[in-house]
Amino acid sequence: MNFIISSNALLKLLQSLQGVLASSNTLPILDNFLFEIEPKKLTVTASDLETTITAEMSVEAKEKGSVAIPARLLLDTLKAFPEQPLTFNVDNKHFGVEITSDQGTYKMTGFSSAEFPKSPVLEDPTRLMIPAGTLSTAINKTLFATGSDDLRPVMSGIFFDLSEEMVRLVTTDAHKLVRYTRTDLSSPRAASFIVPKKPLTLLKNAFAGTNAEVNVEFNENNASFTFDNLKVVCRLIDGKYPNYEAVIPKQNPNKLTIDRQGFLNAIRRVALFSNKTTHQVRLQITGSQLTLSAEDLDYANEAKENLTCSYDGEDMVIGFNSRFLMDMLNNLDSEHVIVEMSAPNRAGILLPGEGGEQGEDVLMLVMPVMLNN
């Protein structure tokens, strides 16, 4: 079996798959890419058992065949080539792989494709279409708030909450929460599932430069995302997601409106002087003035900045983890941000100050930290 392919095109394809390769696999065969050849078509698969990613491209080939090729060695070899056609010759009996270039010949030992685990096939799935740009934005604005607590695995992924009126993505780690809603998308039926962080990170990276429609399919155990020449299939996280609506305070009479970038830059400066364990910054709001302050008593460090804001509510002092605030402000893209609060011991809500995309609704929640007096 042999085929001819462009070195750069193959490298680009494999780089879109390599994120799924684990540093230590339970099955040695998972350290390989599965190559499946058909006349004029190459399909490459990588998997870690939980997530499987497959990509297709055109090649010069006249016969069918398959082989598993060591992933790291192949990637490193392709990176060392300038753009040129490469000829792959595969020994169907012993699975030896010989690559011929303009400069020379390179041989490596492949493995039988029969050892490679089969990609799960979704039985009786529910389907919906989401534009790649929309799904990319949704993942970008929610992924940072996922948890990493092994004891609460449901919080380590993104919760897809679908209905016939909207598509919603939710993430929380119990300290912060993001609720991203699209009212211009809908599902054929109400459903919910939790997708792990890894496949969504792979998707986010693969969305760069495409404006395709993503075909999302899911059943009780798995979900798949297909667009262009790429397909990602992943096992869903089993468990019940916390009732996120219950933790979002409904009555927030105190509303602060402020320039997002100026607020972010000030927090960044003041936070350098905060306690290295709590990362606490204090917001003191009096009339139209916001005073940001932080201190680290262990080293006698402190910082204070005054900002002009628009404020409707009672004078207030509240403390937040500066890292959480910066994460949220970095993931909002409006010129102004609205911070809604009810009391110093209740969650604060961040909203974009002006309308974003049509049909988009973003809410970010951050829990306060106890102030040192």
pLDDT 10s digits, 330-371 = 999 999 999 999 999 999 999 999 867 789 999 999 999 987
Pick the CATH number of 126-244 from 2.60.120.10, 3.40.50.800, 3.10.150.10, 3.40.640.10: 3.10.150.10
- Domain 248-366 falls in which CATH fold? DNA Polymerase III; Chain A, domain 2 (3.10.150)
C-alpha span between 303 and 293 (Å, rounded)? 6
C-alpha span between 158 and 153 (Å, rounded)? 11
Q: What is the pLDDT of residue 211?
A: 87
Instruction: Dig out the tokens for 243 from the structure.
Output: 């009732």
* CB-neighbour burial class of residue 90 (10 A; exposed 0-12, middle 13-18, buried 19+): buried
Same fold for the pair 2-115 and 248-366:
yes
Non-local (6+) Cβ contacts of 113 within 8 A are 34, 35, 36, 66, 67, 68
Q: What is the pLDDT of residue 373?
A: 59
Q: What is the pLDDT of residue 145?
A: 97
- Give per-residue pLDDT as tens, 198-239: 999 999 989 988 889 999 999 999 999 999 999 999 999 999
Q: What is the pLDDT of residue 302?
A: 94
pTM: predicted TM-score of the whole model, two decimal places: 0.92
C-alpha span between 371 and 131 (Å, rounded)? 44
User: To the nearest whole number, what is the mean pLDDT of the chain?
Assistant: 94
Q: What is the pLDDT of residue 229?
A: 93
pLDDT classification of 67: cutoffs 50, 70, 90: very high
- Domain 2-115 falls in which CATH fold? DNA Polymerase III; Chain A, domain 2 (3.10.150)
Domain boundaries, the chain: 2-115, 126-244, 248-366
pLDDT at 22 over 90: no
Sign of the CA dihedral with 126 first, then 132, 134, and 138 last: positive
Distances (CA, A) of 210 to 186, 207, 329: 22, 6, 26
Closest Cα partner for 342 from 309, 308, 369, 318? 318
Q: To the nearest 10°, report the CA torsion of 195, 197, 202, 205.
A: 110
pLDDT classification of 372: cutoffs 50, 70, 90: low
